[in-house]
Amino acid sequence: MSTPRLSVAQRLAGLPLVGNLLSMGPTRSRIAVLGIAAATFALLATSGAVNSLKNLEERLGTLGWTLAPETSTEARIVIVAIDEPSIDEVGAWPWPRETMAELTRAIDTAGAQLQLHDIVYAEAKEGDAQLAAALASARGAVISQVPVLDINQAAGLAPETIRAGQMMGSLAGIQCSNDSGLMSTSSFLAPHAGFNGIAKGHIAPVVNGDGSITKQPAVVCVDGLAYPALALSALLEATGSGIEQVGVHSAKIVANTGSMSSAQTLTLDSYPGLSVPLDAEGNLRISYNRAPESYLVVSAADVLMGRAGTELLDGAWVVVGATAFGLGDVVPTPYSGATPGVELQARILGSLLDVAVPYTPNNAAWIQASIALLFAAALLFVSSRMNGRLSALMLPGAAIVLPTASLAVHAQILAGADLWLGWMPAAVFAVLASGLLFVLEQARTRSQRDRVFNNLASYLPSQVAEEIA
């Protein structure tokens, strides 16, 4: 007689947890495994392991925009690009301030409603008075300042300490206390005092771990004062309510409790009807719903030399900035590994004008939990209606299909409603649950086969018993 063999499944059954699972009925054991998957996910989320996948979630999450982007021309916003042809024709960057004054006047003469300079005029230079006068006499003009965010410093993406120029144009009504949650810093790069009479807005980005930019702080606190983003300052300038005076504008940031509302909302007293959805840190999400080619781009040299048709700039919001690759103002985006930073300012401005800034609703976590619950029910249904051979195919397949479904739901809602739900939590749970259920079903099948083999081996030769089992 052959001696009954001790299987891997039987050895695993010697472990208290595994033994208990195998001794349960099939349905109870599957529910228990799903509970273990949920507990494991909660542990990973608490430890920050799930957050380590944030870059992947952001990168794939934008598929809701990039798979079918808006391609119609954005006629309201024109980018005047300091590009390679401009540098070849006008000269190396940075250009003399007199040249920038000429460009400013040319844009204004062409009928631009307002111009935003994605440029920081930090150092005092010859020709500053001419540039300041050109900006002041334009229909509307806003220039840039850069608070150096502490989070970017901590990540090694910005110098530790820098204070150059003067930060101007703070908003009244926003508290910069330690518990406000707003981005804050004591470092900045700003225009010098010669530009104090010109409206300003910050262009500080929130840089992700992979170098991409998906958010910008609506306001940044510097030395206890709140300074608005460039696009927000442009809207305030467009109201014509005295932006040249420091601190004349008031704003409010209010926490929201509605399930489909953003964590916070920014409102501007000088711009009624505008509500900007913000996350808990006061950031607004940059929309990538438009294809890059939908933005009108005019070479700065063509504007300077009078070659650009005035009909392009007439009545437009003009964003002036560098696009030449060698100037370094490029960032990775969902569309390209090297997108000019000026395009991001155009995107933010367009979202504000459309009152369509994407955001994450307060109940996003509950929606993710509901999706995970549906996945658990689907896995329970599938695993209870298949044999061991099918489980070897279906459960590993579910570890691919269900995360893809989570991404598809996120992408569809993002494309249709500009809501960023996220998709990674439900996807991670699906992978854990599918994997653990696969192990359980394989262990159960092996255990059943071993029991049949051992029974047969008690009165048949081992080889015959193994073939039958």
Residue 205 maps to a domain: yes
What are the φ/ψ torsions at residue 253 (nearest 5 degrees)?
-120, 120
Q: What is the extent of the structural domain holding 295?
A: 72-354
pLDDT tens digits for the chain (469 residues)? 444 455 554 555 445 555 566 566 677 888 888 999 999 999 988 887 777 888 999 999 999 999 999 999 999 999 999 999 999 999 999 999 999 999 999 999 999 999 999 999 999 999 999 999 999 999 999 999 999 986 654 444 555 678 999 999 999 999 998 888 899 998 999 999 999 999 999 999 998 888 899 999 999 999 999 999 999 999 999 886 544 454 568 999 999 999 999 999 999 988 888 999 999 999 999 999 999 999 999 999 999 999 998 889 999 999 999 999 878 788 899 998 889 999 999 999 999 999 999 999 999 999 999 999 999 999 998 888 776 566 667 888 999 999 999 999 999 999 999 999 999 999 999 999 999 888 887 777 665 555 544 554 555 555 544 555 4
Place of tokens 């891997």: 8
Chosen domain end from 333, 354, 375:
354
Of 381, 370, 116, 147, give the one whose Cα is nearest residue 259: 370
CA distance 268 to 245: 16
Question: DSSP state, 92?
Answer: S
AA letter at 419: L
Whether 64 is in a domain gets the answer no
Residue 409 lies in a domain: yes
Q: Is residue 63 part of a domain?
A: no
- Do 350 and 415 lie in one domain? The reply is no
Indicate if the alpha-carbon torsion angle 277, 357, 418, 209 is positive or negative.
Answer: negative
End position of a domain, from candidates 326, 354, 382: 354
Distance CA 433, CA 446 (A): 20
Same domain? For 247 and 385 the reply is: no
Q: Please measure the distance between the N-terminal and C-terminal CA atoms of the chain and give it in whole angstroms.
A: 17
143 vs 135: CA distance, rounded Å: 9
Same-domain check for residues 350 and 367: no
**What single-letter amino acid sits at 232?**
L
Residue 285 and residue 143 in one domain: yes
Same domain, 331 and 455: no
Answer for the pair 218, 276: CB distance below 8 angstroms, yes or no: yes
Are both 404 and 286 inside the same structural domain? no
Number of independent structural domains in the chain: 2
My answer on whether 32 and 82 are in the same domain is: no
Let me know whether 337 and 382 are in one domain: no
- Residue 426, classed as helix, strand or coil, is helix
- Pick from 216, 224, 359: which is nearest to 283 by CA? 216
- Boundary (domain end) residue, out of 302, 334, 354: 354
Does one domain contain both 300 and 168? yes
Residue 403 sits in the same domain as residue 333: no
